[in-house]
Amino acid sequence: MKTLDQIAAELQGYDPQALSADAVCAFLHELVEPVTGTDTVGIFEALGRVLAEDVVSPISVPPHDNSAMDGFALAGEALATAAPTSLRVVGTAYAGKAWTGTVGRHECVKIMTGAIMPEGLDTVVPVEFVQLDQDTVTVPPGVVRPGDNRRLLGEDLMQGQPALRRGERLGPAALGLLASLGLPTVRVFRRLKVAYFSTGDEILSLGEPPREGAVYDSNRYTVFGLLTRLGIEVLDMGVVPDEPEALEAAFRLAAQQADAIITSGGVSMGEADHTKAMMRQLGDVAFWRIAMRPGRPMAVGRIREGDRPAVLFGLPGNPVAVMVTFLAFVRPALLRMMGAQATANPPLLRAHSEEALRKKPGRTEYQRGIVSTRADGSLWVRTTGNQGSGVLRSMVEANGLIVLHHGQGNVAPGDEVGVMLFDGAI
């Protein structure tokens, strides 16, 4: 396991007082490691979990050639090219059992969706395309070609082929795929445990009466939601006062119980509280000033209490900055700890800006945006207005973040910008 100093030494141009967003991601990729424990769970409990091993298909899907729709199964070579083709119907093939009769050159079989293709037949003409007169079907020329409307054995998956790969985060489609293979259980990495708490004497818990200079804690609830969406086992440790004894007890308890610790508040330059001092005392911690907006102050490192260290993410105190730094940095790191592939992170989309955006090169900005689709299918985005890091209402109104990269300058109306959509991330 590399120390923070070793990781920093491997990053070109590492400067903890002016760290780019890309450098933060690179640092965290080296800092965190995937968990090793695994669980075997039923499919209904597997949503959002990460596969601990490849799933190899025990069967072929589909297990036989079958009809893709209701219609009439025939041999494609019997179709005439310029004139109608007349065929005699000699039976009906139903889904769930094989039709065992024989079919001559000028004969066909009525067939239902999913039914096994009778031997020697390779084409299905939909029922709405034919003319039926008692037991004779007439197929107009050109409505189907040989091989149409037939699902081939194993066209989804062949027996022995990898169906899902280790590190894949299981979504609804993956659950259906596992069920289609007849697999009632799956081996996944154990759930990640994350403890989180807010710090500061100015923070009120819900139920406390208002007092001058104090604010109600919102960060615990947004962090809870962000962690829960990831399928993480969350340990809510409440609000910890700015007292050395209380902070030490909270950090030690969190490190004993969790794989990672998230705090909010107490990491800014010149903070008058004891949070930074306690982080230094208990662990190997780096304090950063990130070239970003909103956000900037962040602490990362490890706190050891027992056999294994817990990874520490010390986030700023402003509500929007907490959510932005989580989405930009903590979420990808936690997914890596969960054992997920890098592709588990949602990609940035491109959208046209509806307005001019002021931006100085040299920092990454995450502006709250509302993305919409115009009649021609193009994506456009506008800001929610006030971009203050304490305006939590703007995160409710937004459906994504406009990502203005480190070297990017001012944006003119109509220019393309990167967008991180919330759907799939939060």
- Domain residues for the domain of 104 are 66-151
Q: Does residue 260 fall inside a structural domain?
A: yes
Note every long-range contact of 201-207, with CB atoms under 8 Å and residues 24 or more positions apart, other chains counting.
Answer: 201/241, 201/242, 201/273, 203/239, 203/265, 204/239, 205/238, 205/239
> How far apart are alpha carbons 47 and 301 in whole angstroms?
30
Q: Burial, 269: exposed, middle or buried (Cβ in 10 Å; 0-12, 13-18, 19+)?
A: exposed
DSSP of 23-92, one letter per residue? HHHHHHHHH------EEEEEGGG-TT-BBSS-EE-SS-BSSS-EESSSEEEE-GGG--SSS-EEEEEEEE
What pLDDT does 28 receive?
97
Q: Does residue 105 fall inside a structural domain?
A: yes
3-state SS assignment for residue 102: coil
Q: Does residue 426 fall inside a structural domain?
A: no
209 and 310: one domain?
A: yes
CATH (domain of 79) = 2.170.190.11
The number of folded domains in the chain is 4
What pLDDT does 105 receive?
86
3-state SS assignment for residue 232: coil
Tokens linked to 160:
């022995």
CATH (domain of 162) = 3.90.105.10
276 and 217: one domain?
A: yes
108 and 232: one domain?
A: no
Helix axis angle, 275-282 relative to 244-257, nearest 10°?
Answer: 50
204 and 225: one domain?
A: yes
Q: Burial, 13: exposed, middle or buried (Cβ in 10 Å; 0-12, 13-18, 19+)?
A: exposed
Instruction: Beginning with the edge strand found earlier in the chain, give each strand of the sheet holding 71-74 in spatial order.
Output: 123-126, 71-74, 107-111, 85-93, 136-139, 131-133
Handedness of CA 360, 363, 368, 369 (dihedral sign): positive
What pLDDT does 269 receive?
62
H or E stretch covering 301:
strand 297-304
Name the residue among 259, 208, 204, 256 with its Cα closest to residue 230: 259
What pLDDT does 307 receive?
83
380 and 290: one domain?
A: no
386 and 289: one domain?
A: no
274 and 364: one domain?
A: no
What pLDDT does 63 receive?
95
What pLDDT does 22 receive?
94
In the numeric block, the tokens 């039976």 are attached to 91
In the numeric block, the tokens 């402003």 are attached to 318
CA dist 322 to 28, 197, 218, 299, Å? Answer: 17, 12, 10, 12
Q: Burial, 414: exposed, middle or buried (Cβ in 10 Å; 0-12, 13-18, 19+)?
A: exposed
CA dist 255 to 54, 109, 199, 224, 279, Å? Answer: 32, 68, 16, 18, 12
Q: Does residue 49 fall inside a structural domain?
A: yes
What pLDDT does 175 receive?
97
Give every residue of the chain whose pLDDT is below 50, as ranges: none
CATH (domain of 388) = 2.40.340.10
Beta partners for residue 125, in sequence order: 72
Q: What single letter denotes the amino acid at residue 254?
A: A
Q: Read off the DSSP letter of residue 133.
A: E
178 and 122: one domain?
A: no
Q: Does residue 413 fall inside a structural domain?
A: yes
Tokens linked to 63:
């297990």
What is the model's pTM? 0.90
336 and 201: one domain?
A: yes
What pLDDT does 383 receive?
97
46 and 183: one domain?
A: yes
3-state SS assignment for residue 333: helix
In the numeric block, the tokens 């990053």 are attached to 11
CATH (domain of 321) = 3.40.980.10
What pLDDT does 308 receive?
87
Beta partners for residue 73, in sequence order: 109, 124
> How far apart are alpha carbons 299 and 316 in whole angstroms?
9
169 and 274: one domain?
A: no
What pLDDT does 389 receive?
86
392 and 416: one domain?
A: yes
H or E stretch covering 397:
helix 393-397
